[in-house]
Structures are given as C-alpha cells and as structure tokens.
Amino acid sequence: MRPTTRGAVPARLEALRRRFERWRTTRKGHSPIPDPLWASAVKLAGVYGLCRTARTLGLDYNALKRRVASVGSDAACGAAPAMTFVELASAPQAGLPECIVELEDPHGAKMRIQIKGSQGPDVVTAVSRVFWSAGR
C-alpha cells in the first residue's frame, strides 16, 4: 500500500519510493532494510524533511530520525533545505501611490501632509519633526 502524501512527490523521492517497493516485494522474510536504501533515505530526509520522507517511503519516523541523527545531518531536525534570498518584483501600478498624514498637537495646531509618487516615510518624518518642534 502506498503511503498518502500531500502535494506532488518530488522526482528523487518518488524514485527512492519505487526502489523501496521493489525491495519489499523481493525481500526474504523479515530481512532488514539494506544499508544503501537507508543511506538514500537519510540523504533525502536532509532535503525533504523527516516526516515527508518517512511517510512517502513507508518508514518508521523514529527509526529514520535515529539514522539521520547518527550521521549528524541537518535533517535531524526535519529541516528543509537552507533558504536563499528571492527577490519578488512588484507589478507596475496604474497610478502613483498616495499617502495622507494628518497631525494635530494638543493646542489645536494641525498639519496635513499629502504625498504622491515615490517619496517615502523620510519626508513625513522630517516634516513632522519640524511641526512638533515648532510649538516649543
């Protein structure tokens, strides 16, 4: 019986799952899992995490975890591969961005700052400092 997994199974994990299935259909009695299969499972646990690997391959989670820990791999924590920086480009906007900031001090003085375009919070900070210090 094939274990259920969420989402598509990566090709490398699927290939190892098929190797495990072939071994299970040809093994004699209750022979232990061969070391090369365990080594491949440990390696992929470092890439795809312990839970997903154990579930996909039909392995005992704790047995795989012990094997991974004995190798001293980062996968011992079930960690996914190290993340890298990904830049996301924003979609061009139809109009210019707009921001309105209204300030009022305790004495009733008011200021309204309306910013259009690419000017950011630095302008608001500078102008509001002048506003707050003017009353003193």
pLDDT digits (tens, 9 = 90+) for 43-58: 999 888 999 999 999 9
Nearest Cα residue to 36 out of 19, 60, 50, 61: 19
The structure's pTM equals: 0.49
pLDDT digits (tens, 9 = 90+) for 63-116: 999 999 988 744 444 455 555 555 555 555 566 677 777 888 777 778 787 777
Cα–Cα distance for residue pair 11/85, rounded to 1 Å: 24
Asked if 56 and 3 count as a contact pair (C-beta separation under 8 A), the reply is: yes
Structure token digits, residue 44: 């992929």
Q: Does the structure show a pLDDT above 90 at 59?
A: yes
